Structure 1
Amino acid sequence: MPVQSPAPVAGTAPQKAAPASPTAQARPPVVTKRGGGFYKDDGPGENPPADMDAIPDAEPHAEPLLASANRPYNALGQTYVPLQQVQPYSKRGVASWYGRRFNGKPTSSGEPYDMYAMTAAHPTLPIPSYVRVTNLANDKSVIVRVNDRGPFHSSRIIDLSYTAAWKLGYVERGSAEVMVEAIVPDEMDMVLASSSRKPARKAPAPVQTAKAEPAASGKSAGGVEAPTPTSNAVPVAAAVSPVAVAAATVPSPAATGSIYLQLGAFATKAHADSFRDYVVGELKWLTQGVSSQFGGDKYRLHLGPFLSVEEAREVAGKIAQAIKLRPFLVMR
Structure 2
Amino acid sequence: MANWQEVKIVINRAAVEGAYAVLDNWGIANFAEEDSALINHAQEMGWGDYFPEIQHSEQVTITCYFSEPTFSSEKLQELKGDLVDLHRFGFDPGPVVVQLGEISEADWAHAWKAYYRPLRVGRVWIQPSWEPLEQETKGTDLIVYLDPGMAFGSGTHPTTAMCIQFLQDLNLDGKLLWDVGTGSGILAIVAAKLGAHVQAVDIDPVAVKVAKENMELNDLTFSVEQGSLGDLEGNPQVVVANIVAHVIGPMLKDVQRVLAPRGFFVAAGVIEERDPEILSLAQDAGLRLLRRTQVGEWVGYLFGRGD
Q: Normalising to structure 1: TM-score of the pair?
A: 0.24
Of Structure 1 and Structure 2, the greater helix share is in 2
Q: State the structure with bigger RCO (CA 8 A, min sep 6), 1 or 2.
A: 1
Instruction: Answer with 1 or 2: which has the greater Rg.
Output: 2
Q: Normalising to structure 2: TM-score of the pair?
A: 0.26
Of Structure 1 and Structure 2, the greater strand share is in 2
